[in-house]
Amino acid sequence: MYTITAKVIGFHKILISTNNLKNFNMNKLIIKNGANTLHINNYTTTTENSILVFIKEEINIKYYSFVIYDCIKIKALYKDLFLTSEFNDKFYYDGKLGLIYTKKTSTFKLWSPAASSVDLLLYKNGDPTITEPPLKFKMTEKNGLWTITINKNLKNYFYTYKVTTYNYNQEAIDPYATAVGINGLRAAIIDLKETNPHNFKNDYTPKTKHNTDAIIYELNIRDISMHESSGVIQKGKFLALTEDNTSSKKNVLTCLSHIKDLGVTHVQLMPCFDFSSISIDEKNAKDYNWGYDPENYNVPEGSFSLNPYDPKCRILEIKKMIQHLHSENICVNMDVVYNHIFHKTQNNFEKIFPGYYFRLDNFGDFSNGSGCGNDTASEHKMMRKFILDSVLYWAEEYHIDGFRFDLMGIHDVNTMNSIYDTFKNLNKNIMLYGEGWNLNTALDDSLRATQKNAKEMPNISFFNDIIRDTIKGNVFSKLDKGFVSGKQNLENKIKSCITGCTISNATCNSIYVSPEQSINYVSCHDNHTLWDKFELSNNTDTLEDKKNMVKLSNAIVLTSQGIPFLHSGVEFCRTKYCIENSFKSPDIINSLDYDRKFEFLDVYEYCKGLIKIRKKHPAFRMYSTEDIKLHLNFIQNTPKNTVAFLLKDNANGDSWENILVIYNANRYSVTLEVPNITWYKVVNKYHANTKPIETVTSDKIEVESLCMNMFYST
């Protein structure tokens, strides 16, 4: 029994692999391109099981190609052809795609070398459930680019494309759409200038000199204001983050006022692009979903808008939110999900050019490293261009300050470096970071944008799962413990984390070239909240001990070199009632309960004090590995489960000459030998601030159980 695979690797070349090459009879081989039989010029054996066949005619990718042998018919895949310079020289388009609107003309550009015909469909209504025959216009093609110009003012019309590929007609939305109707099912034609809030062109983007100056606070647009305790009027909407002076009935600050008071520098918005209406119906947004199932990448999500039927409304409102956050000196980072799309076949990319935008295995099946049924093929130049164009659009049109790439390890190294280079060439200081997990996608390991390849992407930052799991225990085991929750012999791992995993020690190898690559975190929207993790792994501990574990966890994140990241609510022991992944759970599980902030106000004030210290003292924000080597020394011969270090010699220009930090994860106090000088204590078990609470002159310091202490000398 023969097994055969075939892939087109050039317009005149097909590579055929078989399990029985010895008995393979080339006279029986038939190659079809659509209805046409292709003629074989010659062939050569390349490996013990592969033949490279040279074709006389040029293969036309508007038709599928098949290899037929002894009644076996196998599709010859185009996926390898798409990587060739031969394909890109013929079809790559470097210009502007999508709609180019003026009051006199509208030009539409769609890229699809596979399409045999494309029609522009114009509608007066943005809701496909309302019956309406569209106006139809035939588009013309040149080298895979389909275009048409309509010489009239089309403002307030809606449009889609009717695309015919491989004898199959489908209606698709423009992937480059910048406005949509209800549920994102038709693109909208608007004048984007009309979506700018007053004085938006002068919107001031707060600047951080180095990424290590940032303190990132992850939030969900819906969660931050939806709870009844928020005191917010526009609950669950973009505009909630424009409401000032909000508080709960128990008189604690909420929503934007809470974020300002906490003192973080950046908010990271969980998905707020237009995600699938299967997740949340914008007509009745009663269901809950995080939104990691993209539909229209360049449009804000309508369920966060007051009027999702009006294409301009959602755009205006998110811009107002961004402008308001900027006015409060808070940068805005965006969680982007370019690694997969909501459905592997019923999506606009696949409708427009089947097999191009997604990564396929050698059998033509969708790669599924994302776990969502598909992986986008960022290594294909036009997919890479789309990602580049999209992030650039959000940065320029919406003034977004940074991008967090969901499952960044699905993407390739070149794409991530190209994004950085694009912004650098435009002189834009944009934060770029993501999840560098090594996932089982159909891309060579060496090409993946993973932590393992961090040295190939020196300007990209990575979520540091080493610090996460070392502090609290493995996220995939609810009972596993970490340094603060009682596991032994983790001192060297904690020391590595303190350096931003930039310096190797006896048990840990460095993984980053600089601390700017390390996103230090202990919890995020995924997996259990920090509090819930301790509820499960330390269920016999007292309430006070668990509070102290939260304090110490946040203290390690905020005093380690790198970029600290806080999950919203971690500062007041947020719970999701031990639901591990709450992406479909109701608001009562996901929304921030500010009455809980009142209950854990001491934890909140402690975290707020640590943030104040970090912002005021650049010793915690070194951006060079060499500086860390020069200015960070670990105290030797400390008690077990205790780590102490010195930031010396006015590190990074700090006003404090020396800073002593001690983490004690024991359930009892410990005594350490330290340099015998005058120390000013600013952090103990209960208090964190920049002003001294005690003066100590001794070569020995006692540290209370389960806490951090911080001292400085001048």
The one-letter amino acid code at 136 reads K
Buried/exposed 499-537: b ≥16 CB within 10 Å, e otherwise: bbbbbeeeebebbbebbbbbbbbbbbbebbbbbbbbbbb
Q: 117 burial class (0-12, 13-18, 19+ CB within 10 angstroms)?
A: middle
Closest CA to 153 of 105, 100, 191, 99: 105
141 is catalytic: no
Q: Encode 79-130 in three state secondary structure.
A: CCHHHCHHHHHHHCCCCCCEEEECCCCEEEEEECCCEEEEEEEEECCCCCCC
Cβ contact 298:273 at 8 Å: yes
3-state secondary structure of 553: helix
The DSSP secondary structure of 509-520, one letter per residue, reads ----SSGGGEEE
Q: Which of 608, 322, 369, 628 is nearest to 498 (CA)?
A: 628
Of 119, 174, 218, 406, the active-site residue reads: 406
In sequence order, what are the residues at sequence separation of 6 or more whose Cβ sits closer than 8 angstroms to the Cβ of residue 457? 413, 416, 417, 420, 449
Please give the backbone phi and psi of residue 70, each rounded to the nearest 5 degrees, phi first.
50, 50
Beta bridge partners of 146: 110, 141
Of 506, 474, 503, which is closest to residue 487 (Cα–Cα)?
Answer: 474
Q: Provide the 8-state DSSP code for 240.
A: G
301 φ/ψ angles, rounded to the nearest 5 degrees? -70, 135
- What residue type is assigned to position 532 of the chain? D
Alpha helices in 331-380 (DSSP H): 348-352
Catalytic residue among 435, 469, 532, 541: 435
Q: Where are the beta strands (DSSP E) in 229-360?
A: 266-269, 273-275, 294-300, 331-336
435 assigned to active site: yes
Question: Which residues are tagged catalytic?
Answer: 406, 435
